[in-house]
Amino acid sequence: MRNSHEFPEEQVRSAIQLGIAQGKAEKGNMGKEKSNRKKHAIVYAIGSIAAAFVILIGFSYQSPALASSLSKIPIIGSVFGDSDLIGLQQAQEKGLTIQIGETKTLSGISVTLDEVLYDQNNITIALKIESERELDDEYFGSGMDFTIDGKMPSGASGSYGEEVLSSTSRTAIETITVTDEMPNELDLGLLLQGGNGENWYFSTSINQVKDIKEIPVQHTETVDGIKLDVTEFSYGASGASVSFKSSEDAILVDDGLDRASKIEFKMEDQNGNEIKSHSGGVEGERVKDKMIYTSNKQFDPIDSDVTELTITPYLSLSTGGGGVEIDENGEETELEYQGNSIPPVEFNSFKVKITQ
């Protein structure tokens, strides 16, 4: 999950605007060379694959420096296609992703914005990262800051993960979940910060996938003070999603006993086959004496033979933890984990009819 630090919105806007200006200048300088450079890039990629194959076959058994040598081979292939997420694999195979391939290099570190997927209210971003020197595990922190049409959405959350290929190369996937109403087309601004203060910024226009089907859901219930309102189920080639709002008394949040923010869903088709869940971020807002949460929970794509889904809400509670409270004088007080005191809750299942 993203860090809880204050979002530097003005800094991100300024950096992205500068990036746009530089990008336009670079495109102007390229001029007539653009089509030729594309051809050269294709030839280079083929040559790199051949070279990698020869090294692996001819020298892997005898060279003690092989690992170091292989770490310098450029990353080849699709980040989404090589991920273990079925939805991203299918989206890439079906041509639903937006290919970018833009690279920025700072301090010997090249970051490539590889491709983007914009489905439902989710924006998923793939990066390729190659460095001339070894990189610390947390060099890029919790991932990218972002703007949508030049602004930070009022309701957004995200996750960031890296696949370390070697000490100098890795890939990364960041998912941004937005609870605001989203347009079919938008301008996405991205800022990735490095451990030595580097700023890689990108800006690109993206379009939402068009094969998404939306089914209104009217499932509302109140259980033990928790109000749950499931509003929509949507699905497409890249995955499925359940949209909902939940609320409860804010005093429970103050006491560390909140439950409405911990709602997940189990999903099964008409044959009892479970659809794998990938969770999803939660946005919370305090309104008077209530905490109101909004979220879109993500799932694998559903098969074409699915005609009905049974969806069961439940509480996902951690088995341990704790925290630290800091007062106005900077004094820290350890907070004991209160999850064991949270009473269990049983929600009702509901069904969704699917028309493929």
- Predicted local distance difference test score (pLDDT) of residue 45: 31
Q: Are 138 and 151 in contact (CB under 8 A)?
A: no
- Predicted local distance difference test score (pLDDT) of residue 263: 95
Write the DSSP string, 178-244.
E-S---SEEEEEEEEE-TTS-EEEEEEEEE--S--EEEEEEEEEEETTEEEEEEEEEEETTEEEEEE
Q: What span, in angstroms and rounded, lies between the C-alpha atoms of 289 and 155?
A: 20
pTM to 2 decimals?
0.68
- Residue pLDDT, tens place only, 313-338: 999 886 555 455 555 676 766 655 55
Residue 306 main-chain phi, psi, to 5 deg: -75, 125
Q: Are 238 and 88 in contact (CB under 8 A)?
A: yes
- Predicted local distance difference test score (pLDDT) of residue 330: 66
> What residue ranges do the domains of the chain occupy?
9-207, 213-353
Domains 9-207 and 213-353 share a fold: yes
Per-residue pLDDT for the chain (356 aa), expressed as one digit of tens each? 333 334 455 666 566 555 555 544 544 443 333 333 222 222 323 233 333 333 333 333 334 443 443 344 456 678 998 888 899 999 999 999 999 999 999 999 999 999 999 987 689 999 999 999 999 989 999 899 999 999 888 777 778 999 999 999 999 999 988 877 888 999 999 999 999 999 999 999 999 998 889 999 999 999 999 999 999 999 998 999 999 999 999 888 777 778 999 999 999 999 999 999 987 778 888 998 999 999 989 999 999 999 999 999 999 886 555 455 555 676 766 655 555 667 788 999 999 999 86
In CATH, what is the architecture of 9-207? Sandwich (2.60)
Nearest CA to 213 out of 90, 281, 279, 119 is that of 119
- Predicted local distance difference test score (pLDDT) of residue 338: 53
- Predicted local distance difference test score (pLDDT) of residue 205: 95
- Predicted local distance difference test score (pLDDT) of residue 254: 76
In CATH, what is the architecture of 213-353? Sandwich (2.60)
Residue 349 main-chain phi, psi, to 5 deg: -75, 160
Q: What span, in angstroms and rounded, lies between the C-alpha atoms of 349 and 265?
A: 9
- Residue pLDDT, tens place only, 26-79: 444 433 333 332 222 223 232 333 333 333 333 333 344 434 433 444 566 789
Token pair of 293 as six digits:
């949460």
Beta-carbon-side half-sphere exposure of residue 119 (alpha carbons within 13 Å): 31
